[in-house]
Structure 1
Amino acid sequence: MAFRLDSNVDRVFSSGDYLLSLRKAPQATTELVASAPHNPASIARGVLTTSSISESISFAPLVENLPVPIQHLPTELLVYILRFFSLTCNYTALERFGAVCKKARVLTMDNSLWRDIVRLLYQPPQIPKHAIIAEIVNSSYGNDYRRTLILHPRVRFDGVYIAVCHCMRPGFSDNAWVNVSHLVTYHRYLRFFQDGSVLSLLANEDNPSDVVQQLKTSIVRSGLCTGRWHVIGSEVFIHDLFDSGGNVAKYAFEMSLALRSKPLGRWNKLEMTQYQTKRVDTGEIDVLPLKNERPFWFSKVRSYHYCHH
């Protein structure tokens, strides 16, 4: 951990300069944060433009005594290069770069990098129809777009939510003294699209790795339903969920799910709180039991796009 923070920590420790650096660093950082306490972009750029701090925050070579060409690039140009990640909503790649060293982390804290990602991801139905994401960021998260992406509830488009469910089915036995029960395992899949459509698939035989590649708007198969979705707070509501078989449907399904973030990752769990059917002609609603239902866990799929321009 010490070498990750400073690749020359062994030489600094042996020279005794670390005591001096420990005394100076808190004062410099305190002055910098006090000058711009609510603006992450100004904090990041202030760190790199303050001479007493920028000298200790630099790119280090993987092998000692080798040149580091990226070190000579201006901060503005590095931020411009990193914006290509934000243009594709590839925030995971941006975060991986930020984990390289201290300077990379400071660069990825620039607010302009995350502003484009948040504006593309948080559009209706991800937020209420008349809501403005800039006002949400400013009022709830201190104009910090990266913090908004981490803390504000959202449905993810770069993968699929999968629930592994089990149920018991009675079997047949030739012996009257023996009761046979079969444990049936089936999967529920939910894939959300940015235009407000959603695919819901119930399958009990296929391999999940094969199914996720088939979950496209053009798919036609048994157990598949298509519907609409929207988010209110941390609740996801799916409605108008009809069987895609082509027949005139008499019933539509509706789901209510709670967005959660655990144990690792963000917004990677959906807990079904209500599941019901709605008769199309009369509007009569029948609530279904949730005895065998299990939570949906998010699984990232590399072939899925992050967002669409």
Structure 2
Amino acid sequence: MTDNAELESFRRKWREEVARRTKPNKPAPAQPRPSAPSTSRAPTQLPPAHHEALERKEVDDEETPAALDPGEIVQGVSQLSLQRPDEDGFDSQAHRKEPKSALEHFERAVEKEAEGNLGDSLQHYRKAYRLDAAVDKTYRNKHFAWAWKKNAQVAVPSTNATPASQQSHDEPDLLPTPELIASFANLPIPQADSLVEGTPPPPCPIANVPSEVIVEILRHVALMDPASFSRMALVCKRLAYHFAHEQHIWKRICQGSEFGFKAMHYSFACDIYGRTEHTLGSRFTPFPTSIPAQIPQPLSSWSEVFQIFPRIRFTGIYISTVNYTRPGAASAYQNISWNSPIHIVTYYRYIRFYRDGSVIYLLTTEEPLNVVPYINKENVKAARPSSKKQHQRQNTEGGTTVKGASDPVPPVAMAALKYAQLGRWRLANPAPTPDSEDTPTDLGPELPSVPGKTASENTLDPRDVIIEAEVISPDKYVYVLHLSLRSFSAANKPGSKIAPPNTPKNTKLAWKGYWSYNKITEEWADFTLRNERSFVFRRVRGWGMGS
């Protein structure tokens, strides 16, 4: 009771003082108004406790009564414990109650981060997410919901607005993409700007070339490099029209063996060393040229087929970067566990695919810049100790020159390629139609079923890739890698077989299984994939260009 009485007394005196100082003083009519002193008067109201001015030691107490000394005011305010601190206009940060809920911790963390106190901010963030994993959404709904409501009100037109006012505020109608591209058909190819102001622009010979010749040029460019063909669409609107409209060029790419699906293998076409196996009958392809090829549903154009349909890329390499931590050995002279080192282990997995159905698989700690330019069959065979007599090599001071190669291979790359593994690859059977060519025959050993999954879940997906790589005893064992083609985009939904638009397609290989297969006993040994990461495609200049 004594504490409450003192608190109420202090609050009453404080309100009286604030009311007295804020009330204007009426001058006496019989006395003349004194002249204003040269010094400034004290402010009519003290700043809030959370204002930065309180941290400055510049206090103007000219008219502060002795009964309400600033030190006593601060001490009294520090003892306040109210349900609503904003009632008196004070909000002391130093003596606020500690946050308890996840939202309070998150709000305190935002305040600390704005102040630059990252240590305390991180602690409050951790406590907030431990209490509620979705606390950031709660924070946005509380503090930024007004912005969403405002945008929603702007987007929804008023029912009382007249058609003229609605038309004035509405944005201009946008043409659909097909109609917009079709409008580029008759546009000329623009000339380049003048190099010097006031002089005529340089000539543009292709501006006067007929459309038939332009289409033929684009077809040759597409067969040389589809990426260059795509970049030509950025030159001008006329070329963008041909890029989207000439679907026969995309059909030729899809049916060809340069970059299309005729180079895809749905059964193993070679042995584990890359030697071609002669099989009877023609090889299966999903879009044969002997019969009319149909665009698979739900795709609508051959350009979409080339971009979205499962396809291995030969113009680069797939790289998986793995990072993990492990505890190091403690010092022999100290028995302190907190002083034990933590090691960060980094290693890389490389996969390079070839059109003949062979593959190179490499696990090493060497960075891509040191080893990727030299990953090819010739260097792998030359790096093996057993191939010294088969391949003529010349050791130079800068590295090893392999027969048939122009540049020497650095010793670091040769040491890493010594452990490279040859193998073969195939895509999963895409369920060919009865009218298509011969179905795949050599599919290798049937992959083991995953416990706990149904038969339909254990069946191969059309995006799956199977790789068989050699081991120390290739006559008895073989490594089997089960991967799946994906698009490198965070917007992909689980289970969605078609990536969203405007994202790179078939640029990622996700792990689905990794085993060692015993050919004699037909037993499978499973490798753990706890630390493994997906393979990401990286293009290498000069690879797969017509070779």
Shared fold (TM-score, shorter chain, > 0.5): yes
Kindly indicate whether residue 372 of structure 2 is the aligned counterpart of residue 212 of structure 1: yes
**Aligned residues: CA RMSD:** 2.9
What are the superposed Cα offsets for residues 198-236 of structure 1, whole Å, 9 maximum, x if unpaired? Answer: 1110001x2211211121112133431111111121111
How far off is 1:281 after superposition? 2.2
Q: Which amino acid aligns with 1:235?
A: D
Distance 1:139 1:291, change over 3 A: closer
2:530 counterpart (285, 291, 303): 291
User: Are the equivalent residues in 2 in contact too, given 1:124–1:230 (CA < 8 A)?
Assistant: no
- Alignment-derived partner of residue 19 in structure 1: none
Match of 2:484 among 251, 258, 261: 258
Return the match for 2:261 from 122, 139, 152.
122
Which residue of structure 2 lines up, in the alignment, with residue 98 of structure 1? 233
Highest RCO, 1 vs 2 (Cα 8 Å, sep ≥ 6): 1
Code of the residue aligned with 1:237 in structure 2: it is I
Q: C-alpha offsets along residues 69-106 of structure 1, whole Å, 9 cap, x if unaligned?
A: 32211000011111221232x01101111111210111
Structure 1 or 2: larger strand share? 1
TM-score after normalising by structure 2 = 0.44
Consecutive unaligned residues of structure 1, counting only runs of 5 or more, are 1-21, 34-42, 49-53
CA–CA separation in structure 2 for the residues paired with 1:202 and 1:272? 15
Unaligned ranges ≥5, structure 2: 1-171, 195-199, 268-282, 384-416, 429-461, 490-502
How many angstroms apart in 1 are the aligned matches of 2:264 and 2:231?
Answer: 29
Among 183, 207, 213, the alignment partner of 1:71 is 207
**Structure 2 residue 382 is the aligned partner of structure 1 residue 223:** no
2:439 alignment counterpart: none
Query: Does the CA contact (< 8 Å) of 2:308 and 2:506 recur in 1?
Result: no
Q: Does 1:146 find its partner at 2:303?
A: yes
Q: TM-score if structure 1 supplies the norm length?
A: 0.75
Sort the Cα spacing of 1:306 and 1:261 in 2 relative to 1 into closer, same or farther, 3 A. Answer: farther
- Residues 137, 143 of structure 1: 8 Å contact kept: no
Is the CA contact (8 Å cut-off) linking 1:279 and 1:285 kept in structure 2?
Answer: yes
Flag the 1:274–1:70 CA change in 2: closer, same or farther, 3 A.
Answer: same
State the identity %: 27
**1:295 CA drift (Å):** 0.8
* Corresponding position of 1:18: none
Q: What pairs with 1:1-309 in structure 2 (closer than 5 Å)?
A: 48=185, 54=186, 57-63=187-193, 66=201, 67-88=203-224, 90-109=225-244, 110-119=246-255, 120=257, 121-123=260-262, 125-127=264-266, 129-134=283-288, 137-140=294-297, 144-172=301-329, 173-174=331-332, 175-177=334-336, 178-204=339-365, 206-218=366-378, 219=380, 220=383, 221-232=417-428, 233-239=462-468, 241-243=469-471, 250-263=476-489, 264-308=503-547
For 2:327 and 2:518, the matched residues in 1 are separated by 30
Shift of 1:261: 1.0
User: What's 2:27 paired with?
Assistant: none
Query: Secondary structure, in 3 states, of the residue corresponding to 1:130?
Result: coil
Q: Please tell me whether the aligned partners of residues 137 and 144 of structure 1 are also in contact (alpha carbons under 8 angstroms).
A: no
Question: 1:142/1:287 Cα in 2 relative to 1: closer, same or farther (>3 Å)?
Answer: closer
Q: How many equivalent pairs are there?
A: 261
Deviation at 1:197, TM superposition (A): 0.9
Separation in 2, partners of 1:149, 1:186: 33
1:259 deviation in Å? 0.9
Q: 1:248 to 1:274 in 2, by over 3 A?
A: closer
